[in-house]
């Protein structure tokens, strides 16, 4: 931490990134470097290129990769904690910023988003901040620690989170279903309504309790999703519109279904002072999952895309718990 005129210590202070009580220093360094290069990538959105050339995705990613490469040469003790291919990091950072509205993408150019703030439970979530503004960072997400805040919009609006509970979401769509006996040569797989760590989300056998559930075509290619129930040895089913299931959106329905059955796994966490370790038991719907990924670090950077094992600023976690509890997600401290 003291090398190069205490560079990492200054990054920790500037970005308000705190060390866990029992966190190994090597892990702390990897988190600091990851957040620092994400901020430098973000700053490249304001670069002035020759002849008014627009900022491209390639320019953004190259900036991250070059900066990360430099840091790893300066701190070789953490180089083995990062993947050999640094584009895994730059791709991931770009895709996550884009998915959470922190980068605007138009043909042949990218640009910073409009400035927004949203406050909840002592945390003001920030988007589109100027480079001169003092921010705190958890993962690659920016925020401020405040006692009060003036919301331009709600946090739910800012991240396009569900305005209703996941059970209400499931009930709303499943109660509109008109079932018919399904006659098709397609093969199907069925939502596993007894989820457990390591178990597949989809299994070969249907539920035969005559309750509504979800199934999908099992052939490679575009999946077709259905509500179904198994009644008197016959499948009764109703196809679900693509817009409700594409791009992992089926997770809104599956989370709601499991929550209604009281079998949706908890999101478990362990507090280690300023940081907490998250173990996500079941993938959240895309917007909620992306928000958590944005505001957390992977537990291991060799698997930067890990959806399940994450490290997060404890204050940010408490704000997210208060937010997601309102929509039916459960957290459990271990």
Determine the distance from the C-alpha atom of residue 231 to the mean position of all C-alpha atoms in its chain, rounded to a whole number: 38
Determine the distance from the C-alpha atom of residue 230 to the mean position of all C-alpha atoms in its chain, rounded to a whole number: 34
Sorted by sequence, the CB contacts under 8 Å of residue 117 that are 6+ apart come out as 124, 125, 126, 127, 149, 150, 151, 152
306's tokens = 């890990």
Helices 3-14 & 25-43, crossing angle to 10 degrees?
70
0.85 cut: is pTM over it? yes
Cα–Cα distance measured from residue 284 to residue 262, given in angstroms and rounded to the nearest whole number: 15
Radius of gyration for the alpha carbons in the chain, expressed in angstroms and rounded:
22
Res 48: pLDDT: 66
249's tokens = 């959106």
CA 198, 199, 204 angle in degrees (round to 5)?
Answer: 155
Res 51: pLDDT: 58
**The three-state (H, E, C) secondary structure of 269-334, written as one string:** EEEEECEEEEEECCCCCHHHHHHHHHCEEECCHHHCCCCCEEEEEHHHHHHHHHHHHCCCCCEEEC
6's tokens = 């205490």
Q: Domain extents for the chain?
A: 3-115, 156-164+264-333, 166-260
Measured between its terminal Cα atoms, the distance across the chain in Å is 30
pLDDT in tens, the chain (334 residues): 778 889 999 999 999 999 999 999 999 999 999 999 999 999 998 886 555 778 899 999 999 999 999 999 999 999 999 999 999 999 999 999 999 999 988 887 898 999 999 999 999 999 999 888 999 999 999 999 988 776 678 999 999 999 999 999 999 999 999 999 988 888 999 999 999 888 899 999 998 888 999 999 998 888 999 999 987 778 899 999 999 999 999 999 999 999 999 999 999 999 999 999 999 999 999 999 999 999 999 999 999 999 999 999 999 999 999 999 999 999 999 9
CB atoms within 10 A of CB 136: 21
- Scanning 175-243, the segments in alpha helix (DSSP H) are none
Q: Give CA separation, 256 vs 166, 202, 262, in Å.
A: 4, 16, 10
Contact predicate 166/186, CB 8 Å: no
Element (H, E) at 167: helix 166-174
SS3 119: strand
């Amino acid at each position: 931490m003291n090398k190069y005129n205490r560079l990492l210590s200054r990054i920790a202070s500037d970005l308000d990134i705190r060390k866990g009580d029992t966190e190994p220093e090597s892990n702390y360094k990897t988190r600091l470097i990851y957040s620092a290069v994400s901020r430098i990538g973000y700053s490249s959105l304001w670069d002035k290129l020759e002849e008014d050339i627009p900022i491209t995705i390639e320019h953004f990613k190259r900036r991250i990769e070059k900066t990360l490469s430099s840091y790893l040469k300066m701190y070789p003790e953490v180089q083995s904690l990062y993947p050999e291919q640094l584009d895994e990091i730059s791709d991931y950072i770009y895709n996550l910023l884009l998915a959470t509205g922190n980068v605007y993408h138009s043909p042949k150019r990218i640009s910073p988003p409009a400035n927004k703030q949203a406050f909840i439970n002592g945390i003001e979530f920030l988007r589109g901040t100027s480079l001169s503004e003092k921010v705190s960072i958890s993962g690659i997400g920016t925020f401020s620690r405040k006692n009060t805040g003036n919301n331009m919009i709600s946090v739910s609006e800012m991240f396009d989170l569900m305005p209703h509970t996941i059970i209400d979401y499931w009930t709303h769509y499943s109660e509109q279903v008109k079932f018919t006996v399904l006659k098709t040569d397609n093969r199907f797989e069925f939502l596993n309504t007894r989820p457990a760590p390591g178990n597949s989300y989809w299994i070969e056998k249907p539920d035969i309790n005559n309750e509504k559930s979800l199934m999908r075509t099992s052939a490679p290619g575009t999946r077709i999703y259905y509500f179904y129930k198994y009644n008197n040895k016959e499948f009764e089913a109703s196809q679900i519109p693509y817009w409700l299931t594409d791009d992992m959106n089926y997770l809104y329905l599956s989370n709601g279904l499991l929550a209604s059955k009281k079998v949706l796994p908890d999101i478990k966490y362990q507090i280690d002072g300023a940081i907490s370790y998250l173990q996500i038991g079941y993938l959240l719907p895309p917007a909620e999952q992306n928000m958590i990924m944005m505001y957390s670090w992977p537990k291991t950077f060799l698997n930067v895309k890990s959806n399940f094992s994450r490290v997060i600023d404890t204050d940010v976690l408490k704000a997210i718990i208060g937010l997601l509890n309102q929509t039916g997600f459960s957290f459990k401290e271990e």
